[in-house]
Structure formats: C-alpha cells, structure tokens
Amino acid sequence: MPPTVSTDQGSSPGLAAYADVTASETSLRRFLHGLPGVDQVGAEARAAQLGTRSIKTTAKAHALDLAITMVDLTTLEGQDTPGKVRALANKALRPDPADPTCPSVAAVCVYGDMVADVKAVVGDNVNVAAVATAFPSGRASMEIKLADTRDAVAAGADEIDMVIDRGAFLAGHYLQVFEEIVAVREACQRADGTHAHLKVIMETGELQTYDNVRRASWLSMLAGGDFIKTSTGKVQPAATLPVTLVMLEAVRDFREATGVQIGVKPAGGIRTSKDAIKYLVMVNEVAGPDWLTPDWFRFGASTLLNELLMQRTKLTTGRYSGPDYFTLD
Amino acid sequence: MAFEYAPAPESRSIVDIKPSYGLFIDGEFVDGHGSAFKSINPATEETLAEIAEADAADVDKAVKAARRAFRTWSRMPGKERSKYLYRIARIIQERSRELAVLESIDNGKPIKESRDVDVPIVAAHFFYYAGWADKLEYAGLGANPQPLGVAGQVIPWNFPLLMLAWKVAPALACGNTVVLKPAETTPLTALLFAEICQQADLPAGVVNIVTGAGDTGQAVVSHPDVDKVAFTGSTGVGKAIARAIAGSDKKATLELGGKAANIVFDDAAIDQAVEGIVGGIFFNQGHVCCAGSRLLVQESVADEVMAKLKRRMGTLRVGDPLDKNTDIGAINSAEQLARIRALAEIGEDEGAERWAPPCELPSAGFWFPPTVFTGVSQAHRIARDEVFGPVLSVLTFRTPSEAIEKANNTPYGLSAGVWTEKGSRILHMANELRAGVVWANTFNKFDPASPFGGYKESGYGREGGRQGLSAYLKAGA
C-alpha cells in the first residue's frame, strides 16, 4: 500500500489563526523574525549526540524496513529515458526480488514528463512524485511554474515536489515566496476535489543559516505545504542531520500551535543505512513517533536503497552479499 | 509502531577486575594495614573488588616514597618529565575503552559519557600539561619557578579518573610528586591508572595511590611532610581541611560545591537552551559540582521553556550504565541516593511542585529519575542546598538585574550559564556574575586549557590552563 496522500488540511481552523500573520509583507516578516533563533553550535551538537545512539538487532531490523518504506526512489537526470524510469519503477515495487517480505518504497520521484511512464508500471501500488516549478533552480516565470505543476498533476502525479524561490527568500521578499507556494498548492488541486500532495523544497544548502531554515520551514507550512523538504540534490550541501533537526523542531512546534501535522523529507547525500537510522532516531526523539511513517517522513535518495537492502540481507542471513546480488536501478 | 531501541550493552570483557587491590606505593602494589573495604557496582549492588585501606602508617610510607622521588623528579629536565606525561596520555588513549568501561561499572555513569567525555578529557589533560613541563618559565611566575614538593590530593567519586587527571597532570608537569587518595566508592580507575604508571615506566614514588575513606584522606592532608593539599569535594570537608592545615605552611587549592544558575533570557535560542538545561543538570546524574541546578528562566518564556523541557525529559533513557543508549545511569551510592531523596522530599514539603517523566527504574541498584521542581523561590532549600543529583529547581525572573541578583544570591560561586542571542548581554552578565566559570549558550564544557575554580564557598585556587600551574609552583629565586 502506498502512503496515503489525501490528508486535506488546507481548511484547518488551526491555520486560520495565522491569517493575520500572512496578511502583509510586514506582518509575515515580523512573525518569521520573531521565531526563536537557532544556535548553530548547539543544534549541531544535538544532532551529533543523537547520531551516537546504537541501534542493534531487532531495533535495526525494524529501522531498516521502515527506512525502505520511506524512500522516494529518485532519478532526476537529463539523460532519464522511459526505459530508465520504468526500470526504476519496477525496483520501487520489488526492491529485493529475492525476498518477497521486503516492503516496497514510498514513491518514485521523477521529472514531470516521466510521470506517465512510471504510473504505467506502478499503478496505485507506489506513489509517483514529480518535481515541478522549474526544478531545480526555480528561476522561471510564475505561469511556467504553475503550468509545470498542472502538467505533472494531469499526468497522474500523486505528489509534487516544488522548489521555493530562494532568491526572493534571501532578498527578504517573504510574502512573494508565500504566495508562490499558495499558488502551486492550488495548481495541485484535481477536478475531484483531492489534491496532489505538495512537498516544498527549501534548498537549505542555499539558505545556509539555521535561522533561515527555521523561517523557511514556517513559511512553507503556513502556505499550505504538506511536506517540507531539504534539497533538490543538485546543490551541496544537501540534507544534513542538523538541518533536518531544525525542520523536525519546526513541524513539531507547528503541530502544537495549529494542530496541523506536516511531513519532513531530507533529500540528497543520505547514502548509508547508518545515516538513515540516525535520521530515524532523530525523528523519533525530536518530532516523536507520530512522524515515523512514510506518511510523515521520507528519504529522497537513490543509492541508499541498495545499501538498506544489503544491510537487511546481512541481518537475516548473517552474511554480507556483494553488490551483484542487488539490482542496479 | 513505536521505535524501541534494543539493548546495546558495551562488553565488560575488555576490563579485568581483580578480586582485591592493594595500595600503590613507591611503584608497586603493597598491602594496606587498615580494614579492607568493598567497591560495588551502583547499578547492580554487586561487589566488584576488595580494596585495601591505608592507615596513617601506610600514608606515611607513601609520603616518604614521594619525598624520595621528588629529589630526582624535580631536578629532571622538564622535557624529560614531559616524555613521561606524553607516554601516559598515549597509554590512556590506547586503553580508553578499558578505562571507560571500568569507570561506568564502578561509578554508575553512562558509558556514552565515560567514553565520549571523561576519558578523552583525561587524555587531553595529560597531553596539555605534558606540553607545559619544559615551558614553566613562561607560566608568568618568574624566570625560574620551582615545584612545591609532595602534593597530597584527595578526589571525589563523581569524575574519578578525570579529577585524578586534573590533580596529577599539572603536579607532575611542574616537578612535584603526589600521594593521591581516590574516593572510597570509586577507587578502581585510579588503581588502573597506577598500572598505567608502571606501564609508562614512571619512576617509583612519583605517583602513590592510597585508598580509603575519610580517615585516610585526613592522614594525607595533615601529614607534616606534605607541602601542598589539593582537594575536590564537598564544602563541609573542604572547610575541615582548611582548618586542619591552618597555621602550617602547606599550600592549598579547594574545589568545592556549587549551586549554579542557568539563566535563560526570552531572546534565547529556546531549543538549544533546553538542551543546555538538560545537559546542565542531568549530565552525570547531576553529580557535578558545577551542575546548572538552578534554572532561572525569564517569566515571559517560562511556560514555553517548561513545556519543551518536560517533553525533552520524557526522552531521557534511564538504566544500565553500560548500555550505549543510556542517558542517565545509577546514583553512585546508597548514601547519596538517600540524600537526594531527603532533599526532594523537603522540596515537596516546602510547597514546590515536583515532576518527573514516567520512567521504569531497575529494581536493584541506586536510581533516581530526572526530576524538576517548579514554583521554587530563593527561600526553598532545594534552591539553596547542593542536591548533587538529577534534580532541577526552576525559578523565574523579570529583568536582567533581577536575574543577576538571584544568580549571585547563594553562598556558592562555581559556575553559571547564560542563554541569549544578544552578545552584549552575555558580556554584561559575565561581568556581573560571581562565578568562576560563566558559560554562554552552552554548559558543562571542559577543556584543559581553560581554568576552573570557584568564588566564595565554592573554594579557592584554579585548576586547568596556565592558571592551574600556579597551584603547583612557587616563584624561583
């Protein structure tokens, strides 16, 4: 079963309380700059501390399976072809063909023009996520960003991964960023009243400071994003543990303030099982166990999946297998 | 489905605990002549080993051995002494896992702390003072500073090996020899350190370790041929030592109790401040003289800070010290547990509101859950007395000047913490707070290059850094 994406929270009374905040550039700016700061040294120390948790035996088996179900298996290359994404889609359905107990991943993440090809393979068994809004830079006119989004939704995308305008954010034009997210969220609407799940990519590697990450997180949540996502994968650094820590604190605090739960997706640079488990520990201890499902936490990754599979096989058989025992795509 | 962490115990097999230990005098282990006592594992109450007790005659032997060794050790060129200290530091690193496991077994502290904090700082201290041994003329004490002689050192049970390092490393670097008495509940890592001294071929008598309780400590500090007394422990015992050596020409440094204020302003980075509060009071079960045991939080953010603090306390894992995921280990002794319980009950009786997250405590051993008291005022005993356990008292303030007044309104003055994103406020607070250490946007950070010590009843003298050298040197002629 793919994660559910129908949680419609746009009309939550909790969010309505923040209508004043987003009413003008001044009020939004005042609100975002009034959020408590993030001490860089302290945040990084806390992330490192959580990274020392030792997850063994049964806990590790649980964590590896959970991590597999949270993977957004991704390919976002100029050289992507229908053949390539179909192969990836098959892998998403059956990550380990040798082991039927292995769960499938959460979604396949591709460019918008590849959505139909993926959908043809996975049907309703795995979600299809499409990057949109002139990914990865977001440097295009609003019409193009919205058309990009509508195309992907029309092609059957279950989830849209949009990028924010980092230039506008860094220039302090918060309301512009807010309004763009609101508009893209509207473009995610389907005729039947449901909407494609919206993930807002903040490109934290370009925002650079944790204060910015916290502000961008709140901005994205207030604008109606269903998920906040670290990175496109095209900018270094991509996802890091401290950035994800700040985002997890933001979704935790946001739910407390509004009653609305928002998901988190670190993407890019998570390659090892050990790293994936560190993220899960962080989700568990910072946001809480409510976020420990593919509905609320995802990994944007490609090579991570095989690593998880190798560790999973090692746990069940007691032996490490070579890379040739796992499929390439 | 909840994410349960499976047990992840560090193996005990790396450390070999002998059934009994003697005293380390003049380079070898010898029998003691007092009545032997047992060291137990506070997490299980199992007996770990039988420990010899040094009587006055044994202490005298140790001081004589130290005096003999002083003649050669003090005249040895500094660069030669530093070679021994570097060697000890390297052996500590090589045997770090062994030391960490033994420390956790004997003391009850979580392995993640003994492994990631205690032992690395121990090694760093020896490395740091090894570097000073041949540069003493640059210590700011004149061109030709001289060692004091034999140092009698008495250390507590909260950081057994780390306090040993704070005492032994600077003393040796400066050319003194030492007679050290570890705490009676935690002697094992000091005895393992004695083996490390043998392994490093340290000349006999330079380090002597005499085990025992109060009487042994008394014999060490009042021995007439001891030139220097260094003590870390309770203010009560510190005062007794000061009285005992008054009128003699012994020099003394005393590092005593504390009741540190951890001050959170409304413009602080709240999430990191909460981490600092947790680290400040629950690190090492709160058995920390500089623990941030009084939280002073600005009233305008008190509710937010308390809600976040309580949620965070709910994620603390109390239990087996050797489990790598344990955050809070065992209370060191039945005696200390009784004291913590008594003070916590007084807190309740005096009307403060007590809260602890639900947590299952093991049936054997000594345990106390992480606890916070709200509604505390300066008039409550839990705001004044050092609990030396995982118990936080929360007070509020309205303005910076009120925070300063309340923070300084204690007989102690060892440390303080300030949490604010405003740099100028940090500098102002650091000037106004009467505490030896003021941490800004962090807490319980230790570095061998940084001096440590107290104001008022928290003691006198400084340990660590260049300042720490003056505790073991006199200006030369």
Please judge whether B267 and A66 are an interchain contact, meaning their C-beta atoms are less than 8 angstroms apart: no
The pair of structure tokens assigned to A121 is 């393979």
Give the contacts of B360 (CB within 8 A, at least 6 positions apart).
none
Q: Which of residues 50-109 of A touch B (CB under 8 A)?
A: 52-60, 62-63, 66
Question: In this predicted structure, what is the pLDDT of residue A2?
Answer: 64
Per the CB < 8 A criterion, the answer to whether B131 and B172 are in contact is: no
Tell me the chain B residues in contact with residue A66 when contact means C-beta distances shorter than 8 Å: 3
Are the beta carbons of B417 and B280 closer than 8 angstroms? Answer: yes
Above 50 in pLDDT, residue A6?
Answer: no
Inter-chain touch B4–A46, beta carbons under 8 Å? no
Please give the Cα distance from A206 to A164 (Å, whole number): 11
Q: How many residues does chain B have?
A: 477
Chain B CB contacts of A289 under 8 Å are: 2-3
Q: How far is B169 from chain A (nearest CA, A)?
A: 28
Percent of chain B with pLDDT over 70: 100
The phi-psi region of residue B412 (left if phi > 0; otherwise alpha if psi is between -120 and 50; otherwise beta) is: beta
Q: If pLDDT is split at 50, 70 and 90, which confidence band does B410 have?
A: very high
Could you tell me the fold of the domain covering A13-317? TIM Barrel (3.20.20)
Report chain A residues whose CB lies below 8 A from the CB of B324. Answer: 52-54
Together in a domain, B199 and B153: yes
* Nearest residue of B to residue A53, measured between CA atoms: B325
Q: CB burial class (10 A; 0-12, 13-18, 19+) of residue B431?
A: exposed
Are residue B174 and residue B317 in the same domain, yes or no? Answer: no
Q: Residue A299: CB partners within 8 Å, gap ≥ 6?
A: A67, A70, A71, A72, A265, A266, A267, A270, A276, A279
Report how far residue B281's alpha carbon sits from residue B294's, in angstroms, rounded to the nearest whole number: 9
Please determine, for residue B406, whether its predicted confidence score (pLDDT) is greater than 70.
Answer: yes
- Residue contact A58–B6, C-beta within 8 A: yes
Res A4: pLDDT: 61
Mean pLDDT of all residues in B399-427: 98
Q: Does A42 touch chain B (CB under 8 A)?
A: yes
- Write down how long chain A is: 329
Task: Decide if B8 is inside a domain.
Answer: no
Could you tell me what percentage of chain A is helix, strand and coil, using 3-state DSSP and rounding each to the nearest 5?
Answer: 50, 10, 40
Q: Confirm if B376 and B385 have CB atoms less than 8 A apart.
A: no
Domain containing B232 — which CATH number?
A: 3.40.605.10
Residue with token string 């602080």: B268
Task: From A294, A285, A237, select the one nearest A264 (Cα to Cα).
Answer: A294
Considering only CB atoms, A36 lies closest to which of B2, B7, B269, namely B269
Whether omega for the bond prior to residue B156 falls within 30 degrees of 0, making it cis, is no
Q: Do A53 and B325 touch (CB under 8 A)?
A: yes
Task: Please determine, for residue A47, whether its predicted confidence score (pLDDT) is greater than 80.
Answer: yes
Q: Does B8 touch chain A (CB under 8 A)?
A: yes
Asked if residue B361 belongs to a domain, the reply is yes
What single-letter amino acid sits at A214? R
Q: What is the mean pLDDT of residues A155-162?
A: 98
CA angle B458/B461/B467 to nearest 5° reads 130
User: B8 contacts in A (CB within 8 Å)?
Assistant: 54-56
Q: Which amino acid is at B360?
A: E
User: In angstroms, what separates the C-alpha of B351 from chain A's closest C-alpha?
Assistant: 30
Helix (H) or strand (E) holding B268: none
Q: Give residues 329 to 358 of B whose Cβ lies within 8 Å of A.
A: none
B269 to A42: CB separation less than 8 angstroms, yes or no: yes
* B3 contacts on A by Cβ (under 8 Å): 59, 62-63, 66, 280-281, 284, 289, 292
Q: What is the pLDDT of residue A328?
A: 81
- Smallest Cα distance from B380 to chain A, Å: 31
Task: Tell if the CB–CB gap between A289 and B2 is shorter than 8 Å.
Answer: yes
DSSP letter string, B34-68: S--EEEE-TTT--EEEEE----HHHHHHHHHHHHH
Residue A7 has pLDDT above 50, yes or no: no
Prior bond of B203 cis (ω within 30°): no
Are residues B156 and B54 part of one domain? yes
CB spacing of A54 vs B116 below 8 angstroms = no
Averaged pLDDT score across all residues of chain A: 95
Q: Which chain A residues are within 8 Å of B270, Cβ to Cβ?
A: 36
CB contact under 8 Å between A42 and B276, yes or no, is yes
* Interchain pair A46, B325: CB under 8 A: no
Residue B328 sits in a domain whose CATH number is: 3.40.309.10
For B301, which DSSP code?
Answer: G
Measured between beta carbons, which residues in chain B are less than 8 angstroms from residue A281? Answer: 3
**Beta carbons of A53 and B441 less than 8 Å apart:** no
Beta bridge partners of A229: A201, A265
Q: What are phi and psi of B167, to 5 degrees?
A: -85, -50
A320 against A42, higher pLDDT: A42
pLDDT of residue A50: 97
* Structural domains in chain B (count): 2
**Is the predicted pLDDT of residue A194 greater than 50, yes or no?**
yes
Q: State the residue range of the domain holding B116.
A: 20-256+456-474
8-state DSSP, A54: -
Cα distance from B324 to chain A (closest Cα, Å)? 6
Instruction: Decide if B394 is inside a domain.
Output: yes
State the average pLDDT over residues A166-184.
98
Mean pLDDT of all residues in A14-42: 94
Confidence (pLDDT) at A315 = 94
pLDDT of A10 > 90? The answer is: no
Q: Which ipTM was obtained for this model?
A: 0.94
Q: Does B461 touch chain A (CB under 8 A)?
A: no
B296 and B248 within one domain: no
Q: What is the mean pLDDT of residues A198-216?
A: 98
pLDDT reading at A13 higher than 60: no
Residue A201 C-alpha, separation from nearest chain B C-alpha, in angstroms:
23
- Any A CB within 8 A of B316 CB: no
Per-residue model confidence (pLDDT) at position A15: 83
Q: Are B155 and B148 in contact (CB under 8 A)?
A: no
> In this structure, are B313 and B397 located in the same domain?
yes
Q: Does residue B124 share a domain with residue B101?
A: yes
Smallest CA–CA separation between B193 and chain A, in Å? 27
- pLDDT, residue A327, reads 87
pLDDT in tens, A123-155: 999 999 999 999 999 999 999 999 999 999 999
Partner-chain contact A59 B442, CB within 8 Å: no
- pLDDT 10s digits, A88-103: 999 999 999 999 999 9
Does one domain contain both B365 and B386? yes
Out of B2, B116, B272, whose CB is closest to A42? B272
How does pLDDT run across A241-281, given as a tens digit for each residue? 999 999 999 999 999 999 999 999 999 999 999 999 999 99
- pLDDT higher than 90, residue B105: yes
Q: How close B302 comes to chain A (CA, Å)?
A: 14
The pairing of strands B415-419 and A263-265 is unpaired
Pick from A39, A62, A280: which is nearest to B269 by CB? A39
Q: Select the more confidently predicted residue: B235 or A4.
A: B235
Domain ranges of chain A: 13-317
Contacts of B14 (CB under 8 A, 6+ apart): B97, B98, B101
> Residue B3 and residue A289: Cβ atoms within 8 Å?
yes
The set of catalytic residues of A is 161, 229, 265
For B54, list phi and psi in degrees, rounded to 5: -85, 125
Contact B270 A45 (CB under 8 A): no
Shared-domain flag, residues B286 and B143: no
**B276 to chain A: which residues are within 8 Å by CB?**
42
With beta carbons less than 8 A apart as the criterion, state whether B276 and B430 touch.
no
Between chain A and chain B, the number of residue pairs with CB atoms below 8 A apart is 68
A42: which chain B residues are within 8 Å (Cβ-Cβ)? 269, 271-272, 275-276, 441-442
Nearest neighbour of B112 by CB, restricted to A43, A52, A62: A52
Amino acid at A166: R
Binary contact (A249, B271; C-beta < 8 A)? yes
Interface contact B324-A52, CB threshold 8 A: yes
Q: What is the mean pLDDT of chain B?
A: 97
Q: Rounded to an integer, what distance in angstroms lies between the CA atom of residue A192 and that of residue A109?
A: 23
Among the ranges given (A9-13, A29-33, A46-50, A322-326), the one the predictor scored with the smallest mean pLDDT: A9-13
Domain assignment of residue B11, yes or no: no
Task: Using the predicted structure, report yes or no on whether residue A12 has a pLDDT greater than 60.
Answer: no
> For helices B423-432 and B400-408, what crossing angle results, to 10°?
30
Residues of A in contact with B271 (CB under 8 A): 36, 38, 42-43, 46, 249
The answer to whether residue B268 neighbours chain A at the CB level (below 8 Å) is: yes
pLDDT score recorded for residue A5:
54
Q: Where are the alpha helices (DSSP H) in B355-448?
A: 400-408, 423-432
CB atoms within 10 A of CB A205: 21
Looking at the fold, whether B55 and B189 belong to one and the same domain comes out as: yes
Domain match, B398 and B296 both: yes
Q: Taking a C-beta distance cutoff of 8 angstroms, is the pair B171, B182 a contact? A: no
The partner residue sitting opposite B4, judged by closest CB among A59, A66, A285, is A59
Answer yes or no: do B71 and B197 share one domain.
Answer: yes
Whether pLDDT at A117 is above 80: yes
Residue found under tokens 């349960």:
B4
Same domain, B278 and B209: no
Contact assessment for residue B148 and residue B472, using Cβ atoms and an 8 Å cutoff: yes
